[in-house]
Amino acid sequence: MASKNITFDSIPASIRKPGKYFEFNTKLAVRTLPANAQKMLIIAQRLAAGSVAEAIATKVFSDAEAAAYFGNGSIAHLMVRAAIKANPYLDLTVCALDDFATSPVARVHTLAITGPATGSGVLSLSVGNVRYQIGITSTDTATIIGDALKAALDNDPALPFTVVHTTGSLAFTAKNKGTVANQIDFEAAVTATGVTAAFTATTAGSVDPTLATALAAVVGEQYDIIAVPFIDATSYAALKTHLDLVSGPMEQRPGIGVIADDDALGATINSGRILLAYLRGTKSPAYEIAAAIAAVWSLDIYVCS
């Protein structure tokens, strides 16, 4: 067999000393940062208006795509919006869930406005971290003010509630049923004299979809970071079981989970593969915080099993 000479840049060809010699040639090395291989998965609720069915893992590249795939104002849409805002270059997949089929309850929150106004001013309403404002002029009745506020709310298709106005009373009903909408804080303030705005009644949402349904649909795939909006013990246990399976010694596909809360659930969480973001008093819903933290974390995280 013919011999082949190997040329070196730094090792002289005339060297006579026996031994093993090595050198590194960086001429063809990549001059830019390495590509980020971290893949993120969001599991959250969809709306019937969405074009992608339940438990179908789908790549998402924009806010507009998420709205079309999962429905404007759905929890899945809003988590995608928060994630992409935090990291526009995210490698993101969403596996959406329908609301639970048996007796789920939608959150209802009611705002009562009184009048008439005896002076001009502004009514400000915060729904989560989004603020809506309308102007009030003297003699405006509660009905006029309520109509104006509803019009402002209707201009935002991403609002996670539907709104019905009756004589100064605005009823906010969550688009997605279950407990996730309970994470959204409301706040109202009025500067016009003669007008008040206060929340008078609340029906808490209950009965979430089964997180294990989506996890079973993606168990064969590799996702480095999974963000979920559910903070109940059953969902936490399902996420922990999934991560222990895929990251265990038999599968060896590293992965971590991210959830967020502003309550006391953190005391029950004990998993090295799940991050709990505890941010008490924030205006952002916990599900948006989980999505944003997971997206930022995927920029440079190295996941270990």
Last residue of a domain, one of 203, 225, 246: 203
CB contact set of 82 (below 8 Å; sequence gap of 6+): 284, 288, 289, 291, 292, 295
Query: Do 83 and 224 fall within a single domain?
Result: yes
Last residue of a domain, one of 186, 203, 220: 203
Q: What is the pTM of this model?
A: 0.85
Query: What is the CATH classification number for the domain harbouring 261?
Result: 3.40.50
Answer yes or no: is pLDDT of 233 > 80: yes
- Closest by alpha carbon to 260, among 293, 233, 215, 237? 293
Query: Do 199 and 213 fall within a single domain?
Result: no
Query: Do 112 and 198 fall within a single domain?
Result: yes
Query: Do 219 and 245 fall within a single domain?
Result: yes
For the stretch 38-84, pLDDT in tens is 899 999 999 999 999 999 999 999 999 999 999 999 999 999 999 99
Last residue of a domain, one of 203, 232, 255: 203
202 neighbors 108 (Cβ within 8 angstroms): yes
Nearest-angstrom CA–CA distance, 97 and 56: 9
In a domain, 138, yes or no: yes
What local confidence, expressed as pLDDT, does residue 305 receive? 42
For the stretch 257-301, pLDDT in tens is 999 887 655 446 677 788 888 777 788 999 999 999 999 988 765
In a domain, 267, yes or no: yes
* 164-170 average pLDDT score: 96
Query: Do 114 and 183 fall within a single domain?
Result: yes
Query: Do 79 and 227 fall within a single domain?
Result: yes
In a domain, 46, yes or no: yes
What local confidence, expressed as pLDDT, does residue 303 receive? 45
Query: Do 125 and 190 fall within a single domain?
Result: yes
How many domains does one find in the chain? 2
For the stretch 133-152, pLDDT in tens is 999 999 999 999 999 999 99
In a domain, 20, yes or no: no
Structural domain containing residue 126: 108-203
In a domain, 245, yes or no: yes
Query: What is the CATH classification number for the domain harbouring 132?
Result: 2.60.40
The enclosing H or E element of 74 equals none
CA 179, distance to chain mean position in Å, is 15
